[in-house]
Structure 1
Amino acid sequence: MLRSMVLNSIIDDDAESAPPFSRLLSSFLGSPFITTSDLPPSDLSLIRRLDAGADLEAVDGAFAAVPRAETVTRPASPTPSFATDTYSLINWTEKGDWASAQPRPSLSDSAPSCSLLPSGSRRSASYTYSYASPSTPFNSFRISNSSSPKGSRNFNLLPRLWEALRDSSPARKGKRRFDIASDDLWTEFGGNGYIDYANLPPLDGEEGELIDDEACFIDVRAVTGLDIIANIPDELALHLLSFLDLPDIVACLRVSRTWGRLASDNAVWRSLFARKRGSGWLLDLRRLRYPALSASAAILPPQDLSRSRTFELPAPLELDWYNLYKSRAELDHRWSASPFTGRNGEDKENAKAWEPRIRRMLGHTDSVYCLEFDSSRIITGSRDRTIKVWSLKTGRCLATFIGHGGSVLCLKFEHDFDLDDTNALPEGQGWKKGMMVSGSSDCTVVVWNLYSYPATDDGDDEFTTVAEVRGILRGHTGGVLDLRIENNWIISCGKDAAVLVWDRSTLTLHRAFRGHDGPVNAVGVQGNRLASASGDGKMILWDMSTGERLRTFDAHDRGLACIEFKGDLIVSGSNDCKIKVWSASTGECLRTLTGHDMLVRTLSYDPFSGRLVSGSYDRSIKVWDVQTGKVVREFRGLHYSHIFDIKFNCCRIVSVSHDQQIVVLDFTDGLDTSLFI
């Protein structure tokens, strides 16, 4: 009976229904399978064995039968000891060997092998079993042979179970899939593929378990908040936005149309601009004035209206504060040495620091020793004994004054005096009166009355300027080297080592300070304190009210040539090629700036921006950051000889030299900076 059954099976069934078993079967579930070596070479051999009554063993139910002596039974799988936690259930490897230096486990299309490892040693040898049998209801989940060059395209059991559990959870819908070869997955497993089931985080809906709100469906697109800015009055919203900084305002511009409209309001940008006042962002609204249209002026013809000298200042919100802020920010950036790419950021690879436009003025016939300038004019003094007025806009010489018998070594004047209505002459038909003082090698100080007429009849913006000598101050026995104008005083110093204080209204001598052993080359004034710098290498701080000497600074190794006194800081330049920053209240040297190769002849300091500009006999101009002591910009080749004087504001640097030239470095190209101080 058994013989006939086997013969019928061999004859009727095709090759696919009775495959030969040549390798050891395995399963990660641990159930042993009975295997055999190759089947007998021919069916006749099998028939002879059956006729001989050999002891046969059924394989896989009833598909085939082999002699029992030729079967091999796989050893039983290790039994996990849950009481002692000796073994971990499952570990995945690419090659089935944790001890080898293999790449990190991945769930690629080539499914990894399965191994059982003792939990105490992750590098122990793994028990790897593989098979290649046809698909049956019992072995449909395949594990590829680790030694095969091309792995199976099927997934193994663990990812399939994970996928099924993931898809069964509504909380997982719409979230990322169990990514094949995902870095995040193996990072969560500890980074090496070993799963410590005892220390897994608590369930939170990710593994398919039910949670309290599993059946709740919430539309995440529903609006759950209230737009406060859009629902309050615009006046209150603008007040709230006025407390924000620039990055916050820029972010508000992109929130919505309502936020963008409010954040771009003129009042918001006015608040932003005003917050930069401490950095020197100041405006002079007197430069932008409109004719006051009274009832009588409104009926005048245009030509008569243009001659009207009654003006009114613009209301604050009449200005375009957004463009003012943008222009001033760009202007400050042009002073830095960082690459400048323009407004649209073109050509970033070849970007360079902004190079100011250079303008030169020629007219003096000898060395130019001193200069001062304001928003519309430059005034210079020269060795040719003349004082010249130049248009800052066009560079044209507007006037020439002669009043000294020697070289004009220093001068000062009231800046923008023609913009102040209190300086208007009673019957002057638009003329404004100002003041200028000049010192000379002839040992005198000349006090001038300046008159300016802001008419524009000839079609340009250049004012007519006239000067007359008001008085001559005689008290020095040597050349007058430096001057200062204060509210009530005129301060002068000279080669006679004296500092003289004159009454501005009466032009009489008020006080004399003597204490230096050499010529006093420069003075500085702050309130009632006066600082004097001498060629003897010393700097003295005086009290102008009492005449008391407050402090003596042993400032430099060699003679001092210039100083700047602003706030509590005194900046001094010397023949030792150094610049030093001092505290006037403590006498401490805060910082020493080195970089010039010859005598530092002139200094100009702005306490708001912290910029210091220096000029030297080495023919270079340097821009310093006083807070850090570093050079921000350096300009060479502007002059062909010694630089004698230098002044600057936020828009330009003006310098004069022994080469008879006045050089203007203009940073305002393409910007409207008419209101900036």
Structure 2
Amino acid sequence: MPDFVRILPAEITGLIFSFVDHKALVNCERVSQAWRNAALDNHLWRQVFQKEHGPWQAAPGKDWKAMFAVNKDLRNKWKRAEMTYKYMDGHSDSVYCVQFDDVKAITGSRDRSLRVWDITTGECLQTIEAASGTAFHPLDSNTSIPPNLRHDGSILCLQYDPEILITGSSDGSCIVWSLPTFTTIARLSFHSAGVLDLCFDHSHIITCSRDMTVCVWDRSTFKLLRQLRGHTGPVNAIALRENRIVSASGDSLVKMWDLESGECIRDFKGHQRGLACVQFSEDMATIVSGGNDMDIRVWDAHTGECKNVLEGHRNLVRTLHLDARNRRIVSGSYDATVKVWNLDTGKLALDIKHFHSTWVLAVKSDHKRLISTSQDKLGLVIDFSEGVKGLEMLDEE
């Protein structure tokens, strides 16, 4: 029987091989030299990687087969709960919010301070006392924050990118900070009650509040562009993707809004009680929400259909992180647990108990680690990457 790999054009052979999984592709390498050459195609391994591990991107020239092997080792450590952990201990009250990268984590607290932590050691590198107007850094003298750019309440939410950090507070305002200096740039004031969540991209800043509204701001001028009304309860969480805003409210509804017009496009109905958190996937296809009915719902963002209901928490689902790239949902609850779910199947993959003594208030994760914060004044860093070789291959840049 003729060998189709030798006869057909490489493009057709690659198309045929693209229908097999990674195990079959490795077996194809053993058939002959021609099969081996075809099965080692880097574009083919990129397809297999993205099909089995999620919608990853990488810089040109990366070895996708080697990346697959590294990520498989890492995913197995998540499955087996092979992890190390450390606490970030320094806040004097509940830690409401967190964001992290490969170098640092930044947390905000009811004690009205921000703290910057070394992500590897858990050491506090810097404290910004946003209420007293003083920044403390081991290498610098104290620097004063202008009185009109101080928070007069708890820091409830934050987000940063390489240029700015924005914090939202129970005092009803947001403060914009320049990074890496942590000098203040502007205060955003319009909400009539506490700012409960915020997010931004290269053009817009979105804030939501206990006053039942969502505000859209211009990132470059910090001017208010429009206020979105429609919820009948506090708007507890928001997410932004391109020209779409998604909000979750104590009225039990998830709403999708048009960024430019401010019109409500769709309601997502199904939760029985008020909502506390919402996430919106980067491809704008999936929304995940959670709240006081203790359920997590996965929605089709285009149709409004509820695709799955994840049950397992025994108290309010306070916080969610959707990691679509790794096909995971991470949730934190007032039941003091953090749970990791398979996005595609809805099955519970990991149940993290006994690390926090009370309510979990925020969770974030990437492919290597997850961080949770709690009413117990602590941040928890759980790392699954110890002993995995070649992790640098998984860096996107």
User: TM-score, normalised to structure 2's length?
Assistant: 0.84
**1:333 maps to amino acid:** N
**In the alignment, is residue 522 of structure 1 matched against residue 295 of structure 2?**
no
Match of 2:147 in 1: none
Distance 1:441 1:360, change over 3 A: same
Aligned pair partner of 1:542 in 232, 237, 257: 257
Q: Is the 8 A contact 2:279 2:321 kept in 1?
A: yes
How far, CA to CA, are the matches of 1:593 and 1:654 in structure 2? 21
Q: Is the 8 A contact 1:242 1:272 kept in 2?
A: no
- Give CA-to-partner distance per residue, 1:395-452, whole Å, 9 cap, x none: 22222223322211000111xx3xxxxxxxxxxxxxxxx111110111110111112x
**In the alignment, is residue 356 of structure 1 matched against residue 83 of structure 2?**
yes
Q: Is the 8 A contact 2:209 2:234 kept in 1?
A: yes
Instruction: Determine helix, strand or coil for the equivalent of 1:250.
Output: helix
Q: Is the 8 A contact 1:539 1:555 kept in 2?
A: no
Distance 1:589 1:248, change over 3 A: closer
Match of 2:135 in 1: none
How far, CA to CA, are the matches of 1:554 and 1:323 in structure 2? 44
Could you list the runs of 5+ residues in structure 2 that have no partner in the other structure? 131-150
- Give CA-to-partner distance per residue, 1:567-598, whole Å, 9 cap, x none: 23221111111112223333322222211100
Aligned pair partner of 2:307 in 590, 601, 623: 590
Instruction: Determine helix, strand or coil for the equivalent of 1:276.
Output: helix
- Give CA-to-partner distance per residue, 1:449-506, whole Å, 9 cap, x none: 112xxxxxxxxxxxxxx31111111111111100011231100011111110000010
How far, CA to CA, are the matches of 1:242 and 1:628 in structure 2? 27
**In the alignment, is residue 442 of structure 1 matched against residue 171 of structure 2?**
yes
Q: Is the 8 A contact 2:55 2:324 kept in 1?
A: no
- Give the superposition deviation at 1:248: 4.1
How far, CA to CA, are the matches of 1:334 and 1:630 in structure 2? 17
Aligned pair partner of 2:50 in 277, 301, 305: 277
Q: Give the alignment's Cα RMSD to 1 decimal.
A: 2.8
Instruction: Determine helix, strand or coil for the equivalent of 1:632.
Output: strand
How far, CA to CA, are the matches of 1:660 and 1:399 in structure 2? 17
**1:356 maps to amino acid:** M
How far, CA to CA, are the matches of 2:43 and 2:212 in structure 1? 50
Greater share of strand: 2
Instruction: Determine helix, strand or coil for the equivalent of 1:506.
Output: coil
Q: Is the 8 A contact 2:54 2:327 kept in 1?
A: no
Match of 1:405 in 2: 152
Q: How is 1:235-634 mapped onto 2 (pairs within 5 angstroms)?
A: 244=17, 245=20, 246-255=22-31, 258=33, 262=37, 268-269=41-42, 271-277=44-50, 279-280=53-54, 282=56, 285=59, 316=61, 321-336=64-79, 353-403=80-130, 404-414=151-161, 417=162, 434-451=163-180, 466-566=181-281, 567-634=284-351
Q: Is the 8 A contact 1:557 1:576 kept in 2?
A: yes
Q: Is the 8 A contact 2:336 2:357 kept in 1?
A: yes
Q: Is the 8 A contact 2:28 2:36 kept in 1?
A: no
- Give the superposition deviation at 1:642: 0.5
How far, CA to CA, are the matches of 1:658 and 1:541 in structure 2? 30
Match of 2:356 in 1: 639
- Give CA-to-partner distance per residue, 1:98-152, whole Å, 9 cap, x none: xxxxxxxxxxxxxxxxxxxxxxxxxxxxxxxxxxxxxxxxxxxxxxxxxxxxxxx
**1:532 maps to amino acid:** S
Bigger RCO of structures 1 and 2 (CA < 8 A, at least 6 apart):
2
Q: Is the 8 A contact 2:67 2:394 kept in 1?
A: no
- Give CA-to-partner distance per residue, 1:64-113, whole Å, 9 cap, x none: xxxxxxxxxxxxxxxxxxxxxxxxxxxxxxxxxxxxxxxxxxxxxxxxxx
Q: Is the 8 A contact 1:602 1:644 kept in 2?
A: yes
- Give the superposition deviation at 1:270: 5.9
Instruction: Determine helix, strand or coil for the equivalent of 1:674.
Output: helix
User: TM-score, normalised to structure 1's length?
Assistant: 0.50
Q: Identify which range, 489-498 or 582-591, moves more after superposition.
A: 582-591
Could you list the runs of 5+ residues in structure 1 that have no partner in the other structure? 1-223, 286-314, 337-352, 418-433, 452-465
Distance 1:628 1:241, change over 3 A: closer
- Give the superposition deviation at 1:548: 1.6
Instruction: Determine helix, strand or coil for the equivalent of 1:655.
Output: strand
How far, CA to CA, are the matches of 1:630 and 1:437 in structure 2? 35
How far, CA to CA, are the matches of 2:34 and 2:120 in structure 1? 41
Q: Identify which range, 319-328 or 600-609, moves more after superposition.
A: 319-328
Instruction: Determine helix, strand or coil for the equivalent of 1:587.
Output: coil
Match of 1:457 in 2: none
Distance 1:226 1:606, change over 3 A: closer
How far, CA to CA, are the matches of 1:607 and 1:571 in structure 2? 11
Q: Is the 8 A contact 1:269 1:325 kept in 2?
A: no
Aligned pair partner of 1:658 in 349, 362, 375: 375
- Give the superposition deviation at 1:525: 2.1
- Give the superposition deviation at 1:552: 2.9
How far, CA to CA, are the matches of 2:29 and 2:267 in structure 1? 56
How far, CA to CA, are the matches of 1:511 and 1:439 in structure 2? 18
How far, CA to CA, are the matches of 1:676 and 1:283 in structure 2? 9
How far, CA to CA, are the matches of 2:387 and 2:11 in structure 1? 31
Distance 1:605 1:560, change over 3 A: same
Distance 1:270 1:661, change over 3 A: farther
How far, CA to CA, are the matches of 1:406 and 1:528 in structure 2? 31
Match of 1:32 in 2: none
Match of 1:12 in 2: none
Match of 1:206 in 2: none
Give the fraction of aligned pairs with identical amino acids, expressed as a percent. 39
The count of aligned residue pairs is 368
**1:578 maps to amino acid:** D
**2:331 maps to amino acid:** S
How far, CA to CA, are the matches of 1:588 and 1:326 in structure 2? 36
